[in-house]
Amino acid sequence: MNIVNVDYDGLIPNNVGLNSDPRVKAALEKWHPGYINWWNDMGPEGFQQALVYLRTAVSVDPKGWAKFDYVKMPDYRWGILLAPQVQERKIAFGAHKGQAAWQEVPGEYRAMLRRLIVIQGDTEPASVEQQRYLGKTAPSLYDLRNLFQVNVEEGRHLWAMVYLLHKYFGAEGREEADELLQRRSGDADTPRMLGAFNEETPDWLSFFMFTFFTDRDGKMQLEALAQSGFDPLSRTTRFMLTEEAHHMFVGETGVGRVIERTCSEMKKAGIDDPSNLAAIRKLGVIDLPTIQKKLNLHFSLTLDLFGNEISTNAANAFHAGVKGRFQEDKLSDDHQLEGGKYPVLRFLDGKIAAEETSALSALNMRLRDDYAKECVSGVERWNKIIERHGTPFRLTLPHVAFHRHIGEFAKINTDPAGKLMSGAEWEKRKNEFLPSNTDRDYIEGLMKPEMTPGKFASWISPPKVGIDNKPGDFEYVKMAG
């Protein structure tokens, strides 16, 4: 079997030798029509017949795995792609450290692995559902194409998890795979499993914040699963990470381009005060204080995805060798953490303070800390754009206790600096910290589609370079008819 090149002959492109695995092949072919129905019902609305300049993975070779071409999204070749097997790979952490990585699911960890795969799998179609109406208000064909690229790849990530369920988890796995197509983001009766994936993505600034913050949570979870002793999960998530990088690029450059446009228009108009919303909004750009509020919202919603700071599940998964730490293989400790300590930020005796906690129980907190470090760097890159324009404003990440619904800080209210406040004060002041209805209405009012090749909506700058090095006026999406 050639594991680098992908077999594109059958219904389901793959590099897992599906042809010599008739049981799994039949199960996936049976799942396929339901997937296509889901895509047609819940995928990008109004653009299913458009020709989109998309990249498709044609190999899992780190150099040059992507091929760009015009594709109608329902015809996208969603495939099952695993990164190459590492010869004689060993489990790198936990109680089984040093043993050969598992090629089959160990019976004792079956339920745990299935749960982790289902939770990851559930997020993938959820984001497609959340973003399905955005195409109608795209600020350019370039952005429209990027949205659709992210969407088809999230669809492929669903395939990646569904393959594992079908291949390794028998009848229960098939049932879970069917249910992944039945839940719906934001549905009152059958919602998606995690909170942030049931929120709306009502506008493009939300989309960019989501791909910066929430796709980055996805990256951290995938990084932790890429360390797994269950080798097929490790290989699957390693390849997903190569796609995930583009999603975060879309988010970071998207927000950066919004900031760029705001600062340059303020300068042109001679407006120095970033809080002069009335004047700035007349320019048709998004003021920096509102960008900060959106940032506050998306960062805080995403932190909830890391779960409780102190977690027995996280400890068990690490001990079992099922889910590692971020860059586990680059860390230099004993990789077992049995007696180790880690500082966890807690709410104790009316104060927010760090407490030394068992390192195993603190693994969610640790992953969240690694995540926040990356977010800080991204926010600093946005601040560089603001600085370059000489605008007196800085974006900051809110305190981790701000606006939380899960974990230590779910019960308290704080301002973005982490200062405690009463519930009544929060109600009175929350519109200072999070987008108000007025802010939302203003942003929504800006969301007018710009579908002329090379043109951009008033509130966002063009990108520095095109996708696949295409020129500025390239027609990334050709409408049907």
Residue numbers at the binding site for Fe ion (CB under 5 A): 124, 154, 157, 215, 244, 247
CA distances from 77 to 49, 232, 239, 281, 437 (A): 15, 21, 16, 43, 41
Q: How far is the CB of 239 from Fe ion (least distance, A)?
A: 11
User: Are the C-beta atoms of residues 480 and 70 closer than 8 Å to each other?
Assistant: no
Nearer to Fe ion, 94 or 232 (CB): 232
Question: Minimal distance in Å, beta carbon 108 to Fe ion?
Answer: 28
**DSSP string of 390-441, one letter each residue:** T-S----PPPTTTT-SSSTTTT-EE-TT--EE-HHHHHHHHHHHS--HHHHH
Whichever of 212 and 382 has its CB closer to Fe ion, that residue is 212
Residue 124 CB, nearest approach to Fe ion (Å):
5
Can you tell me the distance from the alpha carbon of 475 to that of 379, in angstroms, rounded to the nearest whole number? 31
Beta carbons of 299 and 213 less than 8 angstroms apart: yes
**Which of 481, 477, 382 minimizes the C-alpha distance to 149?**
477
In terms of CB distance, is 135 or 407 closer to Fe ion?
135
Burial of 455 (0-12, 13-18, 19+ CB in 10 A): middle
Residues with Cβ within 8 Å of 205's Cβ and at least 6 positions away in sequence, in order, are 255, 258, 286, 291, 294, 443
Instruction: Provide the minimum distance between the beta carbon of 232 and Fe ion in the complex, in angstroms, as a whole number.
Output: 17
Strands 477-478 and 51-57: antiparallel
- The greatest distance separating any two alpha carbons of the chain, rounded to the nearest whole angstrom, comes to 68
| Paired strand residues for 80 | 14
Nearer to Fe ion, 143 or 450 (CB): 143
In one-letter notation, the amino acid at residue 181 is L
Residues 6+ apart with CB under 8 A from 317: 112, 116, 323, 363
Report residue 132 as tokens: 């399905």
Q: How far is the CB of 420 from Fe ion (least distance, A)?
A: 35
Strand, helix or coil at 11? coil
Distance of closest approach, residue 246 Cβ to Fe ion, in angstroms: 8
Residue in 418, 134, 441, 438 with CA at minimum distance from that of residue 300: 418
Least distance to Fe ion from the beta carbon of 353, Å? 35
Going by C-alpha positions, the residue among 251, 124, 123 that lies closest to residue 194 is 123
What is the closest distance, in whole angstroms, from the C-beta atom of residue 265 to Fe ion in the complex? 31
124 versus 408: smaller Cβ distance to Fe ion: 124
Q: Which is nearer to Fe ion, 247 or 325 (CB)?
A: 247
Amino acid identity for residue 464 in this structure: K
Give least dist CB 437 to Fe ion, A.
29
Cβ pair 295, 395 in contact under 8 A: yes
Rounded to a whole number of angstroms, the distance between the first and last alpha carbons of the chain is: 42
Please count the residues of the chain.
481
- Shortest separation between residue 127's beta carbon and Fe ion, angstroms: 7
Q: Which is nearer to Fe ion, 128 or 315 (CB)?
A: 128
Based on CB atoms, which residue is closest to Fe ion, 244 or 287?
A: 244
CB of 154 to Fe ion, least distance (A): 5
Q: Which is nearer to Fe ion, 78 or 93 (CB)?
A: 78
Residue with Cβ nearer Fe ion (232 or 321)? 232
CB-wise, 245 or 279, nearer to Fe ion? 245
Residue 144 has what DSSP assignment?
H
Sign of CA dihedral 466, 128, 378, 439: positive
Cβ nearer to Fe ion, comparing 215 with 450? 215
Structure tokens, 481: 């008819």
Q: Minimum distance from CB of 16 to Fe ion (Å)? A: 19
